[in-house]
Structure 1
Amino acid sequence: MEEPREPHVLVLPFPAQGHIKPMLCLAKLLAAAGLRVTFLNTHHNHRRILPRGPSSPPSSLLRLESISDGLPDDHPRSLERIEELLLSIKTAMKAALREFLVSKSAEPPVTCVIADGIMSIGIDVAEELSVPAISFRTFSACCLWTYFCIPTFIHEGKLPFPDDDLDKEFHGLLGAEGLLRRRDLPSICRSAIAINLYRYFMDETIAMTRACALILNTFDALEAPMLSHLATIFTDIYTIGPLHALAVKSHVGHFSGRSESVGSLQMEDRSCMVWLNSQASRSVVYVSFGSLVKITVDQLMEFWHGLVNCGRPFLWVLREDAILGENEEKARSLLSELKVVSEGRRVVDWAPQEEVLAHAAVGGFLTHSGWNSTLEGIVAGIPMICWPRIADQQINSRWVSEVWKIGLDMKDTCDRSTVETMVRLLMDDKKEEIMKSMARISALSSDSVGPEGSSSKNLERLVKNIRKIGQTS
């Protein structure tokens, strides 16, 4: 009788920081549970991530490896040129993945592939090699359910929108009646999105159903209604979030104050923590629009004046590549001017976000509503002003404001008057009301990652089932 194979999990993230971070957290948790894990980055991101904190895995069971994404080294891999990256993933990177899995690089042989929900090449190659695949979608359950409903909306004539009125109510999403406007749907529903991008993401969503299970970085108490709808599509769902909090509770976290955050592709400026130490309790507005979003000079100045006019100290993460469509030299000059340190404001290229949100001086979070940032705000108990731009961010922000009631939704506008008003509402006028909701939601997130919490139990169940897969493959 053939001996059972040793469980060996390949974790394949989409090559962007917001995807790498939660999937690397999961890889560390699986390794800490005794599974052999290979985390497979692209060469481009592997070089960026290795010199810093995550270079020392939690155990010898976790290997950090890489393959080519098929693009030249000097390619920017930016949102503006994402179609080139997506095409290369489907062709060159898929071939490199197949070669990696059939070569000696993947020893012992991989028994399970955990592929990002927009990396169906992982499912494709796993099927070719008769290896079970699990899909991990790194955004919210509410957004994933919406994605699955989009073909129905198209069939019913609700998409594309017949006119440009984005404030019109949108009906038909089960579990969200009376909640949505057109502008609250994911960005792929807007007419400005390129049709080939729309098709790519819809094809990737459908491909997820070929996986044997679904992993989500959320927790049961936060998104129970949407999870119940997803259960009609996936027979096996593992909700194991917030992953960054679960990693800390499981003692494989990274909150040492001396290393880079797990999955960070940016060099963190820790001087902002010293600046926060000098600020009053709950007085600071923390501003970050994530690792990909770019803004125009006009938007930048509207935010700047709105924040200055509200009279609150603020810490703003403003990447060197954050200004859209401007002369590089002019952009650098403007950023240099804004980054001059003053008593009530601090601007940095990148910050240790989880530590910032946990700092006693921070009282509000102006965010792009990326799912990692949303969960980090919830765990830290910091109310949010949402300015979503792409993908899942539009629907996340609606849930923040109207379902969980832990923040305010400012989508599609950023004039200085609105920014000032929103900050005053969050930090003063509606503070008590919003903080009451946030305290409840934050406590539920903490419970979920506790020893008897739903996410902890689901992680145990996932590890057990991966071991079974290894025994039967």
Structure 2
Amino acid sequence: MAATPPPPPPLHIVVFPWLAFGHMIPFLELSKRLARRGHAITFVSTPRNAGRLGAIPPAMSAHLRVVSLDLPAVDGLPEGAESTADVPPEKVGLLKKAFDGLAVPFASLIAEACGGAAGDGEEAAAGFSRKPDWIILDFAQNWIWPIAEEYEIACAIFSIFPAALGAFVGTKQENLAHPRTTTEDYMAQPAWIPFPSTVTYRRHEAEWIAAGFRPNASGVSDADRFWDSERPSCRLIIYRSCPEAEPRLFPLLTKLYTKPAIPSGLLVPPALDDNDIGVYNRSDRSFVAVMQWLDKQPNKSVIYVSLGTEAPITADHMHELAFGLELAGVRFLWALRRPSGINCHDDMLLPNGFETRVAARGLVCTEWVPQVCVLAHGAVGAFLTHCGWGSTVESFHYGQPLVMLPFIADQGLIAQAVAATGVGVEVARNYDDGSFYRDDVAAAIQRVMVEEEGKELAHKAIELCGILGDRVRQETYLYELIGYLQCYK
């Protein structure tokens, strides 16, 4: 009888996300899951972000370490700004310029890792002293490719966006063959998608996405940064998604980019993990009061409201949303984060007297809210969201129907796809300029929370949860990803 071959040795993987919490959080979740399976993960960020992401659980520290690189100063970038949560939208280009300044220290980190100088015996035992097998990077680091090629390290892009965005962006070659020069061009389904889909933008969304194809304050467009991955050293593109969530797209992406499009699964953090990541000061455990408030509410009676950390929300948006919640007449929990572009005191964010008028049925929390814990709570019956992909997959996982208010990036694509599945409704708005009004907010909330339609939306959300919340299937995607990493290094 032939001997069973030994399992492949653990990998050493350097993981490096773009400086946005919507990127860092899923990158760290993927890192934790790989580390739990015995692989050595070097997670790279900047000092302030590393501190805000929280400590690595002791049980995982043998296989997961965080390395901080100091972000260089850039004229016009606020002091201490290390993430998109620290700057208004118009300064994100400057943050990218500062990010580009990490090329030299990152090259030194890789040189040290390849030289076997990575610390003490414990690190060596965990595999950190070995030359990295992979660099898993984000869309933004077009300067990593020469470094990886110099040291002959395989690379993979990890897209925290849905596969639909990769399909919309397309390759550089396809964009040259089918140039998009007007706003209307970005409102049409791309020519390289050969089947009917919802992969289109409305006018105000198209104007925003078109900007991603033009150089910003860093001197480089986001599209050009991503297109630099069209080289042999990029062996795989990993998507935080799965075929059940986005049918037909994975075979198309593999063909389009001529390299495997690999699902990582949805990577939803556990709801009751005390090491869950928080953007806010975790020493103030204010979420205890939130959970206690939810415990007192009837089953499925509360709509959870959160518009993420990066949506370009104006003061008018905040007031129309507040008045809409008031008019809807339902219980709500609003995780309200001060938008970076609004310069006013906290008591000016909301209409005068709003919190007093809704105190009997609504709670506004301006501190960190543990979103997955909220979505998993029995009192929550719907989610009013900006349709960031992370928030959307979390809602899928916990079977919550959606009231959708998308703003930028992939959010419009996601909202249209979700509406097509019958698990959510959009707030009606002016699609030329993106404006919306309180009556439309209230009407959308009542459709989901009060009217008969809401029962069907909730039923379909539970059905989708049964498919996308299948833990065995989600684990299989991770094991298949590890298999690709073992084979393609």
Give TM class, smaller chain. Answer: 0.7 to 0.9
Q: Deviations over 1:278-306 (max 9, x none)?
A: 11111111110102224222211111111
Identify which range, 28-37 or 436-445, moves more after superposition. Answer: 436-445
SS at match of 1:220: coil
SS at match of 1:215: strand
Identify which range, 73-82 or 96-105, moves more after superposition. Answer: 73-82
The answer as to whether partners of 1:41 and 1:66 remain within 8 angstroms in 2 is: yes
1:262 lines up with 2:312 in the alignment? no
The answer as to whether partners of 2:328 and 2:442 remain within 8 angstroms in 1 is: yes
Evaluate the alpha carbon distance shift between residue 190 and residue 9 of structure 1 in structure 2; reply closer, same or farther with a 3 A threshold: closer
SS at match of 2:246: helix
Q: Say how many residue pairs are matched.
A: 444
In structure 2, what residue type is equivalent to 1:415? Y
Q: Deviations over 1:60-91 (max 9, x none)?
A: 1111121122237433344331011111222x
In structure 2, what residue type is equivalent to 1:93? L
- The structure 2 residue matched to 1:458, chosen from 445, 467, 477, is 477
SS at match of 2:230: helix
Q: For the residues of structure 2 that align with 1:174 and 1:181, how far apart are their CA atoms?
A: 11
The percentage of aligned residue pairs carrying the same residue is 24
SS at match of 1:224: coil
SS at match of 1:369: coil
Superposed CA RMSD: 3.0
In structure 1, what residue type is equivalent to 2:104? A
Q: Where in structure 2 are the equivalents of 1:363-402 lying within 5 Å?
A: 363-402=381-420
SS at match of 1:196: coil
Q: For the residues of structure 2 that align with 1:238 and 1:65, how far apart are their CA atoms?
A: 26
1:219 lines up with 2:219 in the alignment? no
Q: Match for residue 123 of structure 2? A: none
Evaluate the alpha carbon distance shift between residue 148 and residue 14 of structure 1 in structure 2; reply closer, same or farther with a 3 A threshold: same
Q: CA deviation at 1:393?
A: 0.9
- The structure 1 residue matched to 2:324, chosen from 284, 287, 306, is 306
The answer as to whether partners of 1:187 and 1:391 remain within 8 angstroms in 2 is: no
Q: Match for residue 429 of structure 1? A: 452
Q: Where in structure 2 are the equivalents of 1:127-276 lying within 5 Å?
A: 127-148=149-170, 152=174, 155-156=177-178, 159-161=181-183, 172=191, 174=193, 177=196, 179=198, 182-183=201-202, 187=206, 190=209, 195-197=214-216, 200-210=221-231, 211-232=234-255, 233-244=257-268, 253=270, 255-256=272-273, 259-262=274-277, 264=279, 267=282, 269-270=286-287, 271-276=289-294
Q: Match for residue 60 of structure 2? A: 58
Q: CA deviation at 1:15?
A: 1.2
1:408 lines up with 2:425 in the alignment? yes
Q: CA deviation at 1:264?
A: 4.3
The answer as to whether partners of 2:15 and 2:42 remain within 8 angstroms in 1 is: yes
Q: CA deviation at 1:29?
A: 0.9
In structure 1, what residue type is equivalent to 2:98? S
Q: CA deviation at 1:176?
A: 5.7
Q: Match for residue 28 of structure 2? A: 24
More helix by share: 1
Q: CA deviation at 1:385?
A: 1.3
Q: CA deviation at 1:154?
A: 7.0
- The structure 2 residue matched to 1:417, chosen from 421, 424, 439, is 439
In structure 1, what residue type is equivalent to 2:272? F
Q: CA deviation at 1:114?
A: 0.8
SS at match of 2:215: helix
In structure 1, what residue type is equivalent to 2:262? Y
The answer as to whether partners of 2:164 and 2:199 remain within 8 angstroms in 1 is: no
Q: Match for residue 282 of structure 1? A: 300
- The structure 1 residue matched to 2:110, chosen from 78, 101, 105, is 101
Evaluate the alpha carbon distance shift between residue 69 and residue 260 of structure 1 in structure 2; reply closer, same or farther with a 3 A threshold: same
Instruction: Identify unmatched segments of 5+ residues in structure 1.
Output: 246-252
Evaluate the alpha carbon distance shift between residue 184 and residue 374 of structure 1 in structure 2; reply closer, same or farther with a 3 A threshold: farther
Q: Match for residue 363 of structure 2? A: 346
Q: For the residues of structure 2 that align with 1:186 and 1:201, how far apart are their CA atoms?
A: 16
In structure 1, what residue type is equivalent to 2:424? G
Q: Match for residue 8 of structure 1? A: 12
1:322 lines up with 2:339 in the alignment? yes
Q: Match for residue 67 of structure 1? A: 69
Q: For the residues of structure 2 that align with 1:70 and 1:288, how far apart are their CA atoms?
A: 32
Q: CA deviation at 1:182?
A: 4.0
Q: For the residues of structure 2 that align with 1:429 and 1:358, how far apart are their CA atoms?
A: 23
Evaluate the alpha carbon distance shift between residue 152 and residue 409 of structure 1 in structure 2; reply closer, same or farther with a 3 A threshold: farther
In structure 2, what residue type is equivalent to 1:61? H
Q: For the residues of structure 1 that align with 2:202 and 2:171, how far apart are their CA atoms?
A: 16
SS at match of 1:366: strand
The answer as to whether partners of 1:313 and 1:344 remain within 8 angstroms in 2 is: yes
TM-score, normalised relative to structure 2 = 0.82
Higher RCO structure, 1 or 2 (CA under 8 Å, sep 6+): 1
- The structure 1 residue matched to 2:92, chosen from 82, 89, 92, is 82
Instruction: Identify unmatched segments of 5+ residues in structure 2.
Output: 1-7, 119-127
Evaluate the alpha carbon distance shift between residue 273 and residue 77 of structure 1 in structure 2; reply closer, same or farther with a 3 A threshold: same
1:443 lines up with 2:462 in the alignment? no
The answer as to whether partners of 2:198 and 2:413 remain within 8 angstroms in 1 is: no
The answer as to whether partners of 1:169 and 1:178 remain within 8 angstroms in 2 is: no
Q: For the residues of structure 1 that align with 2:410 and 2:291, how far apart are their CA atoms?
A: 30
The answer as to whether partners of 1:187 and 1:394 remain within 8 angstroms in 2 is: no
Evaluate the alpha carbon distance shift between residue 21 and residue 339 of structure 1 in structure 2; reply closer, same or farther with a 3 A threshold: farther
Q: CA deviation at 1:419?
A: 0.3
Q: For the residues of structure 2 that align with 1:112 and 1:169, how far apart are their CA atoms?
A: 37
Q: Deviations over 1:448-470 (max 9, x none)?
A: x31xx2x4223213323434567
TM-score, normalised relative to structure 1 = 0.85
Q: Deviations over 1:228-262 (max 9, x none)?
A: 210102432321221126xxxxxxx4623xx2523
SS at match of 1:177: coil
